[in-house]
Amino acid sequence: MRLQKINIGNLETPNNVFLAPLAGYSNAVFRKMCYDLGAGLTFTEMVSAKGLCYDSQKTEELLYVTDDYDGIKACQLFGNDPEYMRRACECEALAPFDIVDINMGCPVPKIYKNGEGCALLKDLKLASKIITECKKSGKTITAKIRIGVDDREYVTAKFARMCEDSGADMITVHGRTKDKIYSGEVNYREIALAKSAVHIPVIANGGILTPTDADRIMVKTGADGVMIARGAIFNPWLFSTLTGKPIADKKTAVLKQIADTRDIMGERFALVFMRKLVGFYIKGIRGANSLRIKLMNCRTTDELSEAVGKLDF
């Protein structure tokens, strides 16, 4: 794909291959791993604006950044109250972050029914107010959107224009409607319409699992870059492939991820989380199903590391 630096407000990314906010996955260690593998920008999983305003410890834990992460720091915020969103941007927990991305595309029913995420696609006035309030914080503000709630009405172009007019410095467009969740065909045309409607960078998202997928979505949409979601969960080395960054031994990287996750988040979390991730990483390896069973039977991270040491990546 066509690599280039992206200017987001007064910031410049090293390339245009980004890691998406991934609920339950994009913790500090995973973000650092993807950054080391070539990701030009990584986002935290989405965090609650009200949770930050009320000093929720669990919410703030999602914002942890490893000491050795030296890239642009970006978090994703969700909420539907402009004042709370601004206050969250200004709070001490977000002080280390350069970019705040506003979630306007989450399709999860609980979020949607609360008037957050994708629900904001139906209320341009409120969405605009949220962006303008967040801009008052002095942060670089971006937005992640979908093309509509369902196929009866696409809002991509007008919503993208609203984002730019309200002060957003970049938008990411997931090329599916809310009702498609994470499956179905990606609508390249709507992403292209967003690109042609604004002057700020437009990042394409949705269905990027291979280098071919990345090439296709760039060509068909004219987007400035790509944001990888599920593709990163199954194959974080996709960042290296797309950016041309040399990679170290995969096994070494996985063992480091296990150790770092345990050191930062504890044995119990690391065991459950990394058993699942390693199970994803070995997809396509001969005998993957039986290997997955062995991994799931590991009872400590030491056992898991020993099992990984015997794998052939």
The answer to whether the CB of 173 falls within 8 A of the CB of 191 is yes
| Active-site residue, 89 included | no
| Cα distance between residue 134 and residue 138, in whole Å | 8
**Element holding 7 (H helix, E strand):** strand 6-8
- Residue among 175, 220, 165 nearest 197 (CA): 165
Cα–Cα distance measured from residue 106 to residue 89, given in angstroms and rounded to the nearest whole number:
19
305/313 Cα distance (integer angstroms):
14
- CA distances 86 to 82, 92, 113, 160, 295, Å, are 6, 12, 22, 20, 44
d(CA 146, CA 205): 9
CA–CA dist 226, 202 (Å, integer): 9
Q: Among 45, 16, 42, which residue's Cα sits nearest to residue 31?
A: 42
Q: How many CB atoms lie within 10 A of CB 158?
A: 13
Residue 170 to residue 164: CA distance in whole angstroms: 8
The conformation of residue 248, written as its DSSP 8-state character, comes to -
Task: Choose, from 34, 75, 106, 134, the residue flagged as catalytic.
Answer: 106
How many CA atoms, within 13 angstroms, populate the side-chain half-sphere of residue 91?
25
Residue 163's nearest CA partner among 148, 138, 149, 142 is 142
Q: Are the C-beta atoms of residues 12 and 69 closer than 8 Å to each other?
A: no
Query: How far apart are the C-alpha atoms of 86 and 81, rounded to whole Å?
Result: 9
Catalytic (active-site) positions: 106
